[in-house]
Structure 1
Amino acid sequence: MCEEQTVSLVDVLQEDEELEEEASAVLAGSDSDHCSYPQGYVKRQALYACNTCTPKGGEAAGVCLACSYKCHEGHDLFELYTKRNFRCDCGNGKFKDLQCKLHPEKDEFNTLNKYSQNFFGSYCTCGRPYPDPDDQVEDEMIQCVVCEDWLHGRHLGCSVPDGVELQEMICEACMKKNPFLWVYAAHLAGPGAAATTAAAQQRADESDANRPPVATQVEEAVEPSPKRPRREAEPSCRLEELQAAAREAERRGAVFWPSAWRCRLCRCGACRARLSEAGVSFLLDESDTVLAYENKGKSSERTQQGSDPLMSALDNLNRVQQLEIIHGYNDMKSELKDFLQTFAAEGKVVTSDDIHHFFEQQSEKRRRESCT
């Protein structure tokens, strides 16, 4: 029996669903129908830059998912993946001849937005576009969680670890701007980091256990007045404890951080102030991660879809019927791929109207075939 005949249609559809889930994870957390501007500086959303309206040499600007569909259809767009704390610029003072169709009343500028070379289609330390037609080297792009630029794996100054999709990366430039991160890197990142951190935490716990309670120390020294408020002890600084451990990391190259590393950062008053001053307070927020955003989008997508009666019905078809549907499905998928490639080649955004038009053509094609 041909091996192809052993493939279940359910397996085929489930594989496609997994690919679609991965592809739509970034968009699922963003609204495709309404401009995000009224929400203010959105914690994280999918963004685009329009090379047609704001070309290189002008002011950088970013537009939300809905505006990329409704206001910039047919334009040359750069897909920026996601950015944090950004407010949609579509139609504001940075756009000379375009008014937002979804939310025309906007401030002249969004002063808290942060921009980078990405908004002009340049990435990495090499400043090249992506995809790069002149680059023949197959290399993945990895996003820095601080500056949110995308860098080629070969330009990180370090080896890319296995399971990189589950780790966050901070590029060398951002590490140097925030040198205190090297202290954490020596204990949290790289081989043996978890064991070292556990040992350091055990020493700290043992030290706390042997230390008399703060209130007892005060009472032994001075009898407190009933009217004198007791001051709570300031929590010890984990960063200082790690510095005292005198473990140094080589201060060069990007750093890859293990899962849940953010929860191990010190949250004492001094460290919070340091993070705030450096503009990286978001590192204390585990829900800030792209992975958390994507998981939220996937979960929302599943909730909206609910149970799929089509999958249940397919299980009840006989083998011949399933094979006929598989062939028809593969033909349709191939034609849809060719249809979408024309948009990719021209840098155009695919709208829901385009997809509806495609399936209308498919229906007309099937009607003609049934009449012959």
Structure 2
Amino acid sequence: MEQEEPVVSLVDVLEEDDELEQEASAVLAASDAEHCSYSQGYVKRQALYACGTCCPPGGAAAGICLACSYKCHEGHQLYELYTKRNFRCDCGNSKFKDLTCKLNLDKEEVNSENKYSHNFFGLYCTCSRPYPDPEDQEDDQMIQCVVCEDWLHGRHLGAPVPESVELQEMICESCMNQNRFLWTYAAHIAVSAPEVKPDSDQINAAPEDPKQESDSDTEPSCKRPRLQGEPDGEGLKEEEEPKGACRLKELQLIGQSRTQSGATFWPSGWRSGLCSCCDCRKLLSEVGSLFLLDEADTVLAYETKGKSLERTNQSTDPLMSALDRLNRVQQLELIHEYNDLKTELKDFLQSFASEGKVVTPDDIRQFFEQQQSRKRRRANGQLYSA
């Protein structure tokens, strides 16, 4: 008995197309595809690219915005960097010897506050390999660290990847060790942390990091978030936190610990659990991680903004507005026409591929002339024939 081929409905196809479009718009729609972002300064988060043609390995690293990737680097070897924070478009500055930005001529020679990594030369992870890697046949996902923003293979994280990782943020082991105070938070907040127990040596001890020390009688206080399960402090509001209150110190005194190795994974909303007192803000600023207090800094927030902009643009699209004015039957007829055309065009191009022939403009013009001829025959009541 022959096995029946799976049936895919038109709804399945449309839903799959819609899902792919949403994924693309989540990354790109929050970035301007027409205007260089340079005039906006160091953009909080944007889609970025690196050009291997203009800035090959061995030279200076540079990044370009979405619009410049389209307008100034068409046909070049581009590395997609996904999104990065606090970056200003480099296109056409001193790092580009033979290229002038077509969208913005008034640019400084360098953007001194930009941060670069091996990603800008198409290399990723601790293994410094390209993605996709032609020499690596292992099926493995790439996960971005929210601190250094490098992409790492799941198998190179030094920790098991939890389920629903797409809803979590990851901090690689290197960044955890450069920001060692995060290990204290990890024992209380991070996902799938090992079993923890009080450390008697730390109870009633001074904080580990001398930068966290402060005199509660002299240092001004900033508001902090309340600990999970902590009482309201007998009516105290957030603005009325006791002087010198520091959540990080309180967690250190509790004494819970975890193995300080491997990457850590953090649940949605975890940033609100970080202390924002004056001392902690100063510490985060010193290590360049103040952005961790900003929940709008997350990739999820950026993607949500992108999807919202895309929906707004669709609502004002004349083509979509025209489609909305059609009745249900007319809409279905138009969808069927579109899918028939897509199938026939695919078959048409496939015939060239199988014969190793190059598709010329005349071939494409002939294809659409045949489509118009068939449409006229149907309008005259003739049978539709291949």
Shorter chain as normaliser: what TM range? 0.7 to 0.9
- Matches of 1:336 and 1:68 in 2, distance apart? 28
| C-alpha displacement of 1:325 | 4.8
Q: Which amino acid aligns with 2:329?
A: N
Aligned to 1:26: 27
Pairing partner for 1:201 from 228, 244, 253: 228
Measured on the aligned residues, the alpha-carbon RMSD in Å equals 3.4
Aligned to 2:367: 365
Pairing partner for 2:266 from 257, 270, 281: 257
- Matches of 1:241 and 1:187 in 2, distance apart? 12
Q: Which has the higher helix share?
A: 1
Q: Map 1:136-175 onto structure 2 (within 5 A).
A: 136-175=137-176
String of CA shifts for 1:280-299, please: whole Å, max 9, x gaps: 00000011001110110011
Query: Relative CO higher for 1 or 2, CA cutoff 8 Å, sep ≥ 6?
Result: 1
Secondary structure class of the residue paired with 2:262 = coil
| C-alpha displacement of 1:232 | 8.3
8 Å Cα contact 1:10/1:311 also seen in 2: no
Q: Map 1:253-292 onto structure 2 (within 5 A).
A: 253-292=262-301
Aligned to 1:105: 106
Q: Which amino acid aligns with 2:271?
A: R
Aligned to 2:342: 329
Alpha carbons of structure 1 residues 361 and 14: separation in structure 2 relative to 1, 3 Å? farther
8 Å Cα contact 1:236/1:268 also seen in 2: yes
- Matches of 1:370 and 1:191 in 2, distance apart? 60
Secondary structure class of the residue paired with 2:285 = helix
Alpha carbons of structure 1 residues 243 and 94: separation in structure 2 relative to 1, 3 Å? same
| C-alpha displacement of 1:189 | 1.0
1:45 equivalent to 2:46? Answer yes
Alpha carbons of structure 1 residues 237 and 319: separation in structure 2 relative to 1, 3 Å? closer
Aligned to 2:69: 68
String of CA shifts for 1:39-83, please: whole Å, max 9, x gaps: 000000111111111111111000111111111111111111111
- Matches of 1:126 and 1:365 in 2, distance apart? 48
- Matches of 1:130 and 1:316 in 2, distance apart? 45
- Matches of 1:184 and 1:305 in 2, distance apart? 42
String of CA shifts for 1:170-203, please: whole Å, max 9, x gaps: 000000000000000000013489xx9x99633x
Aligned to 1:303: 312
Q: Which amino acid aligns with 1:148?
A: E
Identity of aligned residues (%): 59
8 Å Cα contact 1:200/1:242 also seen in 2: no
Secondary structure class of the residue paired with 1:187 = coil
Alpha carbons of structure 1 residues 245 and 25: separation in structure 2 relative to 1, 3 Å? same
1:315 equivalent to 2:328? Answer yes
| C-alpha displacement of 1:241 | 1.0
- How many residues matched? 329
| C-alpha displacement of 1:12 | 2.9
Q: Which amino acid aligns with 1:294?
A: E
8 Å Cα contact 1:43/1:86 also seen in 2: yes
* Length-normalised TM-score, structure 2: 0.76
8 Å Cα contact 2:185/2:248 also seen in 1: yes
8 Å Cα contact 2:248/2:275 also seen in 1: yes
Alpha carbons of structure 1 residues 97 and 320: separation in structure 2 relative to 1, 3 Å? closer
8 Å Cα contact 1:10/1:314 also seen in 2: no
Could you tell me which runs of 5 or more consecutive residues in structure 1 were left unpaired when the two chains were aligned.
214-230, 340-356
Q: Which amino acid aligns with 2:139?
A: E
Secondary structure class of the residue paired with 1:298 = helix
- Matches of 2:6 and 2:91 in 1, distance apart? 49
- Matches of 2:74 and 2:312 in 1, distance apart? 29
- Matches of 1:74 and 1:293 in 2, distance apart? 28
